[in-house]
Amino acid sequence: MKINHIAAGSAVSGLLLLSACASWFHSTPAPPHTSTAPAPVVSHAPVVSHDSSQSTGSIQDIQAQLARQGYYHGPIDGVWGVATAGAVRNFQQNNNLPATGKLDNATMLVLHDTSNAPTN
């Protein structure tokens, strides 16, 4: 019988200890969040990846040339967006130009030459 009293006493002691830990845990405030990671920067400004002197009409011309060659599949709206930049990047890759997605003189020259090339 002595063993049962010891076991019961140990079980009660364990429950009291567990109860004390639980109440301490719930009453202790969480430490403040101390992240060392910088907060993300959110910008709502449009990304300009072409010469800002390009007019809406010239961007429409570029979109049309890229569309005729199968690179651009968006609206011919004169707005420089992700689809236009992606089309320029793909065109540059296929024509051994630095694939920046930005219009530069070399890209404009090759684009003009390829858009005027005869089709078979």
DSSP secondary structure, 91-118, as one string: HHHHTTS---SS--HHHHHHHHHHHSSP
pLDDT tens-digit series, residues 19-48 = 544 554 455 555 555 555 555 444 333 444
Cα 107 from chain centroid (whole Å):
26
Query: What DSSP string describes 78-89?
Result: S---HHHHHHHH
Identify which of 81, 78, 80, 98 has the alpha carbon closest to the alpha carbon of residue 89: 98
CATH topology of domain 56-115: Muramoyl-pentapeptide Carboxypeptidase; domain 1 (1.10.101)
Residue 57 has what pLDDT? 81
Residue 65 has pLDDT above 60, yes or no: yes
Q: Is residue 4's pLDDT more than 90?
A: no
Residue 60 in this model has a pLDDT that exceeds 90? yes
Tell me the mean pLDDT in the region 88-102: 96
Q: Which residue has the higher pLDDT, 70 or 11?
A: 70
Average pLDDT over the chain, rounded to an integer: 73
- Predicted pLDDT at 116: 76
